[in-house]
């Protein structure tokens, strides 16, 4: 009888201690999750800002002025356009 | 020992008989009081302590929700919200050294005097600056000035600026839509912040989620039918034309002929939605949808279509328009110049008012009304755009002959520009009126049939003749493509009489063999010397259409060198 009681006591202590550790683990992981989620939100914000930046750089007006002024590109006159018939290839 | 204690007991005076029970009773009563108090605190009046307790470990956090982005048809962002900070102060409690104030003013990019004025404004709450970049706000927080705080808020940015402002509109305080699509789609775009209750440890870190008070609802992204490349093109060309013709305003709409989607919608004058301080209300109007005008000759094809449908005329029927005037009652209709005998096709090509009026008068009013109404005139567009107007088409019963005659060439009826462009879908397709939309469609959209296929084809052929030599709009030609369209040069109505101010317009589509795009151009009060639709609006159509078809990779349907330089082409001028 005493042996059984001792055994149960040991099991109880073991359970209690593992509960404490797992609880602690859970909290640590939760803190980590929180941190990662916060990071994800920051990246989200940054993504939005980068998208804004990208579309600002890619504005047709800007591309056109670069093409015209820096690269000296221009539209060919109608007489200089040759239409290649794609269907005969 | 026993004897000693015995003597002591004997010497102590005898206690009063009730003292012990009394004391005992009093102690008991005190204990009972304590017990009652603790019971009271535990079960009855527990709110205060509970709150005090939970405030030491539990927090209610707001879960922010984004406003959805607005995208163009290819997913290019047109409107994005990003978090910023609002810097505010509690002037009564501000304690700062002059140095700190100077640093604050520098960080906020305000003159120190303006900052001082703001701090004098009120006692308890004043915004120092809103929509401050998060880095700047962090710098201000680092100054550690008492009574100066920051709040999270969102600011909406529009990368396309003035090019797209009339469609998108803008948001106001708290990122709520105030104009345009932002207002119309507020329910879809807007997010609702949520809340959650958490447990924090002594370092302020969240260690456990206790309850979800409210789930946040993120704003959803919205894909428009707009193609931002075409939109830019449309805006640029329209701006050039409005400036060179010294016009009051202008509008341009590009429709997809197969789906009725609005691919571009440009208006002038415009404004920059990113910087709206001191923008006149006037400039914010989306004229193409919220303003009506008398369309003039661009309406003639519908008169002709009604007559063809009724079997009153054939495309080759002959109409005598001599002597270039037609008197009905007290009023007289004029042609810009005398033409004599014309076929029905030539009435459209040369835009003869007298010819169109004669054709209209051969029709019963109900017949003409039903064609115009079928083409969507006088009825709401249902584009879902706030402030959209439907234009006016009076019931056929109230028409007098002179009104029916003037309506034949687009006077006495009013439309908005998008409505006019949509009406042309009946000619661009085989008689179907496509519903217009500002939102992206997955595939071709069917519309109600309005005209017989052969009528639509016959009118399409007439519209092709308009841009050929001998027509009113050779300047609308596009190299490599067959183009069909109609000019309009309408006198404006002011105070009930027609005055010598004009609305020049051109509506057309291309490639005529299998129409892809419909473009409607409207220039309001051109005053640079030219005012004909064929000279003011048609060139805009031509350059936008040419570049748009090239951008979309539409196969050519005409030899590229067949075009005649406008100066050499015989050009016919028109009025209305």
**What CATH number is associated with residue B250?**
3.40.710.10
Band of pLDDT at residue B575, cut at 50, 70 and 90: low
Residue B3 has pLDDT above 60, yes or no: no
Quick one: B171 and B219 in the same domain? Answer: yes
Task: Give the residue from chain A lying closest to B154, CA to CA.
Answer: A45
pLDDT at A18: 96
User: B233 with B185, same domain?
Assistant: no
Same domain, B125 and B264: no
| Residue indicated by tokens 């209305």 | B576
- Averaged over B382-389, what is the pLDDT? 84
Decide if B372 contacts B393 (C-beta within 8 A).
yes
Interface of B with A in 48-67 (CB under 8 A): 66
Asked if B510 and B481 touch (Cβ cutoff 8 Å), the reply is: yes
Per-residue confidence (pLDDT) for residue B122, from 0 to 100 = 67
State how far the alpha carbon of B58 is from the alpha carbons of B48, B199, B200, B213, in Å: 15, 4, 6, 13
Is B39 inside any structural domain?
Answer: no
Q: Which of A52, A59, A78 sits opposite B82 (nearest CB)?
A: A52
Whether the pLDDT of residue B177 is over 50: the answer is yes
B392 and B468 fall within a common domain: yes
Q: Chain B: nearest CA to A18, how far in angstroms? A: 19
Query: Can you give B344-403 as a three-state secondary structure string?
Result: HHHHHHCCCHHHHHHHHHCCCHHHHHHHHHHCCCCCCCCCCCCCCCCCECCCHHHCCHHH
pLDDT bucket at A89, cuts 50 / 70 / 90: very low
Q: What is the pLDDT of residues B247-276, one digit of tens each?
A: 999 999 999 998 889 999 999 888 888 887
Counting residues of chain B whose pLDDT is more than 70, the rounded percentage is 95
Q: Does B82 touch chain A (CB under 8 A)?
A: yes
Look at A26-30, B238-242, B275-279, B458-462 and tell me which has the smallest mean pLDDT.
Answer: B275-279
Domain identity same for B403 and B471: yes
Same domain flag for B257 and B205: no
Out of B103-107, B225-229, B462-466, pick the least confident: B103-107
Q: Do B338 and B389 reside in the same domain of the chain?
A: yes
Q: Which of B199, B223, B247 represents a domain boundary (last residue)? A: B223
Asked whether B89 and B149 are in contact (CB, 8 A), the reply is: yes
Domain that holds residue B403: 228-552
Q: What is the pLDDT of residues B406-427, one digit of tens each?
A: 888 888 889 999 999 999 999 9
Interacting residues of B155 by C-beta distance below 8 A, sequence separation 6+? B81, B82, B84, B131, B175
Give pLDDT, residue B10.
54
Contact across the interface for B205 and A55, Cβ inside 8 Å: no
pLDDT of residue B393: 87
Question: Which of the pair, B226 or B132, is modelled with greater confidence?
Answer: B226
Residue B568's pLDDT is 47
Answer yes or no: is B56 within a domain: no
Q: For residue B21, is it within any domain?
A: no
Calculate how close chain A gets to B477, using CA atoms only, in Å.
12
Q: Could you tell me if B484 and B460 are in contact, meaning their C-beta atoms sit under 8 angstroms apart? A: yes
pLDDT at B235: 93
Q: To the nearest whole angstrom, how far is the Cα of B558 from the nearest Cα of chain A?
A: 10
Give me the pLDDT at residue B565, please. 54
Residue B66: the pLDDT is 82
B476-519 confidence digits (pLDDT tens):
888 888 999 999 888 888 777 888 888 999 999 989 889 999 99
Is residue B566 a part of any domain in this protein?
no
Angle among Cα B98, B104, B108 to the nearest 5 degrees reads 145
Q: pLDDT digits over B130-145, tens only?
A: 778 878 888 888 887 7
Q: Examine the pLDDT at B59 and tell me if it is beyond 70.
A: yes
Residue B129 sits in a domain whose CATH number is 3.90.1310.10
Which chain B residues in 126-165 lie under 8 Å from chain A, judged by CB atoms?
157, 159-160, 163
The answer as to whether B103 is a domain residue is yes
Which whole number is the average pLDDT over A43-69? 87
Segment B529-553 shows an average pLDDT of: 89
**B259 lies in the same domain as B167:** no
Which residue of chain B is at minimal alpha-carbon distance from A82? Answer: B560
What per-residue confidence (pLDDT) applies to B83? 83
Same domain, B207 and B310: no
pLDDT at B123: 67
Judged by a CB distance cut-off of 8 A, whether residue A43 touches chain B is: no
pLDDT band at B54 (very low <50, low <70, confident <90, very high): confident
Q: Quick one: pLDDT band at residue B327, thresholds 50, 70, 90?
A: confident
Scanning every residue of chain A, which has its alpha carbon at the shortest distance from the alpha carbon of B64? A41
The pLDDT of residue A86 is 65
Indicate if B297 belongs to the active site: yes
Q: Is the pLDDT of residue B564 over 60?
A: no
The pLDDT confidence band at residue B1, using thresholds 50, 70 and 90, is very low
**What is the side-by-side strand order in the sheet with B262-268?**
B262-268, B249-256, B517-524, B497-510, B484-494
- Evaluate whether residue B23 is within a structural domain: no
Strand partners, B85: B132, B152
Which residue among the candidates B160, B225, B228, B297 is catalytic per the annotation? B297
Question: What pLDDT band is residue B81 in, cutting at 50, 70 and 90?
Answer: confident
Number of domains composing chain B: 2
Length of chain A counted residue by residue? 89
| B134 and B259, same domain (yes or no) | no
Looking at the complex, does the CB of residue A70 fall below 8 Å from at least one CB of chain B?
Answer: no
Same domain, B207 and B291: no
Tell me what pLDDT residue B230 has: 92
Q: In DSSP terms, which residues pair with B262 in a beta bridge? A: B255
Residues B391 and B338 in one domain: yes
Q: Which two tokens stand for residue B440?
A: 């992206």
Instruction: Specify if B33 maps to a domain.
Output: no
Predicted local distance difference test score (pLDDT) of residue B562: 56
pTM listed for this prediction: 0.81
| Residue B397 CB neighbours (<10 A) | 8
């Amino acid at each position: 009888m005493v042996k059984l009681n001792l055994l149960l006591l040991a099991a109880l202590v073991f359970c209690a201690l593992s509960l404490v550790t797992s609880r602690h683990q859970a909290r640590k992981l939760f803190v980590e999750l929180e941190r990662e989620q916060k990071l994800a939100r920051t990246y989200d914000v940054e993504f939005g800002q980068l998208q804004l930046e990208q579309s600002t750089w890619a504005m047709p007006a800007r591309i056109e002025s670069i093409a015209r002024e820096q690269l000296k590109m221009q539209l060919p006159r109608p007489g200089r356009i040759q239409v290649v018939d794609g269907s005969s290839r | 020992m026993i004897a000693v204690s015995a003597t002591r007991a004997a010497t102590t005076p005898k206690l009063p008989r009730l003292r012990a029970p009394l004391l005992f009773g009093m102690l008991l009563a005190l204990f009972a009081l304590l017990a009652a108090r603790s019971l009271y605190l535990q079960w009855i009046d527990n709110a205060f302590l509970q709150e005090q307790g939970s405030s030491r470990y539990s927090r209610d956090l707001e879960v922010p929700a984004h406003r959805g982005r607005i995208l163009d048809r290819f997913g290019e962002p047109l409107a994005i919200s990003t978090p910023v900070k609002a810097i505010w102060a509690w002037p009564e409690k501000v304690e700062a050294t002059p140095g700190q104030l100077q640093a604050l003013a520098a960080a906020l990019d305000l003159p120190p005097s303006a900052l001082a004025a703001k701090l004098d404004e009120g006692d308890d709450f004043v915004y120092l600056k809103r929509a401050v970049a998060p880095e700047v706000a962090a710098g201000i927080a680092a100054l550690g000035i008492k009574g100066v705080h920051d709040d999270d808020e969102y600011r909406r940015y529009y990368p396309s600026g003035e090019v797209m402002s009339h469609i998108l509109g803008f948001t106001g305080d708290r990122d709520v839509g105030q104009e345009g699509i932002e207002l119309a789609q507020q329910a879809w775009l807007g997010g609702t912040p949520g809340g959650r209750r958490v447990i924090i440890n002594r370092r302020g870190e969240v260690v456990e989620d206790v309850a979800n008070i409210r789930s946040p609802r993120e704003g959803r992204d919205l894909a428009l039918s707009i193609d931002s490349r075409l939109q830019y093109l449309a805006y640029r060309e329209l701006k050039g034309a409005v400036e060179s013709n010294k016009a009051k305003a202008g509008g341009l709409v590009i429709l997809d002929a197969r789906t009725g989607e609005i691919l571009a919608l440009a208006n002038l004058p415009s404004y920059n939605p990113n910087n709206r301080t001191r923008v006149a209300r006037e400039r914010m109007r989306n004229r193409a949808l919220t303003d009506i005008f008398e369309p003039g000759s661009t309406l003639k094809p519908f008169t002709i279509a009604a007559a063809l449908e009724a079997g009153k005329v054939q495309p080759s029927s002959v109409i005598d328009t001599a002597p270039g005037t037609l008197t009905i009652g007290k009023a007289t209709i004029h042609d810009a110049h005398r033409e004599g005998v014309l076929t029905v096709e030539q009435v459209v090509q040369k835009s003869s008012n007298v010819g169109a009026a004669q054709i209209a008068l051969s029709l019963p009013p109900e017949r003409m009304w039903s064609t115009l109404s079928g083409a969507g005139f006088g009825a709401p567009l249902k584009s879902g755009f706030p402030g959209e107007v439907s234009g006016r088409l009076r019931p056929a019963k109230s028409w007098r002959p002179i009104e029916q005659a003037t309506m034949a060439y687009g006077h006495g009826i009013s439309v908005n520009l998008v409505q006019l462009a949509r009406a042309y879908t009946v000619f661009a397709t085989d008689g179907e009126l496509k519903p217009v939309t500002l939102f992206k469609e997955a595939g071709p959209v069917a519309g109600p049939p309005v005209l017989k296929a052969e009528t639509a084809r016959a009118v399409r052929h007439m519209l092709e003749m308009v841009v050929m030599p001998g027509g009113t709009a050779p300047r609308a030609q596009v190299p490599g493509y067959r183009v069909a369209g109609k000019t309009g040069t309408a006198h404006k109505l002011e105070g009930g009489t027609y005055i010598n101010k004009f609305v020049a317009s051109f509506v057309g589509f291309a490639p005529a063999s299998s129409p892809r795009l419909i473009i409607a151009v409207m220039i309001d009060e051109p005053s640079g010397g030219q005012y004909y639709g064929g000279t003011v609006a048609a060139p805009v159509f031509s350059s936008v259409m040419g570049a748009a078809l090239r951008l979309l990779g539409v196969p050519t349907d005409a030899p590229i060198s067949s075009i005649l330089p406008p100066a050499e082409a015989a050009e016919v001028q028109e009025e209305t």
